[in-house]
Amino acid sequence: MVWMSSSRFERESIDLSGFWYFKTDPEGRGEVEKWFEKEQLKDWDRLYVPCPWNEQDSAYAWYMGKAWYSRDFYVPKDWNEKAVSIFFEGVNYRAKVWVNKIFIGEHEGGFTPFCFRIEDKMKFGYDNRVFVMVDNTLTKKTIPPGEGMNRTYFDFFHYGGIYREVYLLSTSKLYVKDVTLRTDIDGGRGIVNASVNVVNETTETRSCQLILRVIDSNELVNENTEPLVLEPSSDRTVEKRIIVKNAKLWCPEDPHLYKFAVIITDGGSNIDVFETRFGIRTVRIENGRILLNGRPIFLKGFGRHEDFPILGKTLNGAILRKDFGLMKDLGCNSFRTSHYPYSKTHMDLADEYGFLVILEMPTVGLWQGVERLDDPEIVEKVKRMICEAIQRDKNRPSVIIYSLFNEPDSCREEFRILLKEAIEEARRNDPTRPVTFASCMHLEDKALDMVDVLCFNFYYGWYTLCGDLEAASRTLSRVLDELHEKYPDKPIIVTEFGADAIAGVHRDPPEMWSEEYQAELIKTYWNVILSKKYVVGGHVWNFADFRVGQSPGRTTLNRKGIFTRTRDPKLSAKIVRELFRKASTYL
């Protein structure tokens, strides 16, 4: 797998966005009937990619099952001798792919990228066709699990389809496969520990030079050159410690980004160029605090979702720009990618805007309906998804913590086995970031001792103690104190608290479902959160209303947003703005 990071800017790529042929396959006949060999697709529908199928046409609104996508594509002639891959940034949930009638691979998991090599299957010119069979069927062993569109074990809409970008990427067969950057600070100096993996897939021994550059707004800050000899079909990992003098640190108030470039050259021309952005910053947990660049921080922000009318999970640049502008204006400095890794563009903006991100894995809903949490099939999938998410986002300064689960059944003894495997997988991929999971078991939780940071979701005043904010406040305060007493060394973040409010519903005195009640609940929680020295962050649930399955407890949307689904403010937006702006990022 050629990990893409930001590399495709320097390599040649062809975007495959556009209208693709589309056909649902509810009886699963496509594979048997070899639809991937079809020449005539005139009777197929056309849907836009990237975007889930659900809201593009009401015929597909609640569709769960297999569906086929196809399009033709062009390969330039000068891509001969190149390594060519087809990249999928996100397909929910399973994908099987054929190019020119040949099966090239499959992938399970809706929120992490994958790619397949196609240079021995493609033709030069226009005469290429790709088929993708997508299957969004939920089972008790999918991650996340469920039994139907309205029987998900998680509380967000189960969109289906190719909903993130698809593109072709070409590189030389001698190429940079992976770059890992870990930064440290030593006085005024930044230290960049770079690990660069180079692969030679040619049949010759190749002598070349590897140039590593740190660039600050087009100014060369540091350059290292290393001679490299690679045997045929071999790879090499080069480790370098690079010093950046007078380093500008990445932090929320000044999210300074550097560029890291890796160039393979034979002295004359560049054979491959790989570029990625990074920030110089450290994250540590010490004495019950989260330290960013050595300073204790306080996270103020949201749990969010990728969700918007018609576009579903495909938040385009304009919507993301709107959301990030709103979050900045509110005085927010943080969010959790609840409950799955967000798109690459989404994370690029987090790096640029300086948000402190808890990167959550798509491991939500591991709950009552799942028979055994240590089922080897589940453990294997969880580990693979953690690996794929970390590999994609490991160089991002915005990502400060990994959340390995949301609200698992952490009262079960066997959850410890799953969590142990998940933590080991996260640490194997990246030992530098703290790990957590969002617990709703609180004092009954059996696994909190295993994580670095404690995250809790609380709904007193909503699902329990309905309508009673005084009792909610007392209970929250008591439970937090008891949790702190039990785990005095671990920082605590309240990762969810909130109430549904239907925009336009007003009540005086405040009542559940009104804008006033939501605002009061948020204020009440915030006061408790600020009163506890050991609580190092609070995330309101949720930034905006979002689509969910049909159930008696939901009025078509989950309405816990402080903005509506189309980003109009509710009363709480004003309140949150006052509260967040008053709270400092540094403790």
Interface positions with ligand BDP (CB under 6 A):
155, 339, 406-407, 440, 457, 496, 541, 558, 560
Q: Which is nearer to ligand BDP, 213 or 570 (CB)?
A: 570
Residue 583 CB-density burial (10 A; 0-12 exposed, 13-18 middle, 19+ buried): middle
Q: Which is nearer to ligand BDP, 388 or 496 (CB)?
A: 496
Q: How far apart are CA 366 and CA 409, in angstroms?
A: 6
- Token pair recorded at residue 236: 């090499």
Catalytic residue list:
407, 496
Residue bearing tokens 């990249």: 87
Shortest distance (Å) from residue 156 CB to ligand BDP:
7
Q: How far apart are CA 580 and CA 300, in angstroms?
A: 6
Q: What is the C-alpha radius of gyration for the chain, rounded to an integer number of angstroms? A: 24
Shortest distance (Å) from residue 542 CB to ligand BDP:
7
Shortest distance (Å) from residue 407 CB to ligand BDP:
5
Query: Are residues 438 and 154 in contact, defined by beta-carbon separation less than 8 angstroms?
Result: no
Q: Which is nearer to ligand BDP, 21 or 543 (CB)?
A: 543
Q: Which is nearer to ligand BDP, 3 or 153 (CB)?
A: 153
3-state secondary structure of 405: strand
Q: How far apart are CA 576 and CA 568, in angstroms?
A: 14
User: Strand 125-135 to strand 146-148: parallel, antiparallel, or no bridges (unpaired)?
Assistant: unpaired
Select the residue whose beta carbon is closest to ligand BDP and give its number. Answer: 155
Shortest distance (Å) from residue 497 CB to ligand BDP:
10
Q: How far apart are CA 568 and CA 566, in angstroms?
A: 6
Q: Which is nearer to ligand BDP, 407 or 516 (CB)?
A: 407
Q: Which is nearer to ligand BDP, 10 or 496 (CB)?
A: 496
Which amino acid appears at position 573 of this protein? A
Q: How far apart are CA 562 and CA 505, in angstroms?
A: 13
* Largest Cα span, the chain: 78
Q: Which is nearer to ligand BDP, 96 or 560 (CB)?
A: 560
Question: Which of 315, 318, 294 is closest to 306 using CA atoms?
Answer: 315
Q: Which is nearer to ligand BDP, 351 or 545 (CB)?
A: 545
Q: Give the DSSP H/E element, type plus range, for residue 579.
A: helix 571-582
Q: How far apart are CA 530 and CA 399, in angstroms?
A: 24
Contacts of 293 (CB under 8 A, 6+ apart): 185, 249, 251, 281, 282
Cα separation values, 583 from 81, 300, 352, 577, 578, Å: 57, 8, 22, 10, 9
Shortest distance (Å) from residue 461 CB to ligand BDP:
13
Count other Cβ atoms within 10 Å, centred on residue 305. Answer: 26
Q: How far apart are CA 33 and CA 373, in angstroms?
A: 37
Query: Are residues 428 and 394 in contact, defined by beta-carbon separation less than 8 angstroms?
Result: no
Shortest distance (Å) from residue 393 CB to ligand BDP:
21
Shortest distance (Å) from residue 460 CB to ligand BDP:
12
Shortest distance (Å) from residue 469 CB to ligand BDP:
17
- Token pair recorded at residue 20: 């693709």
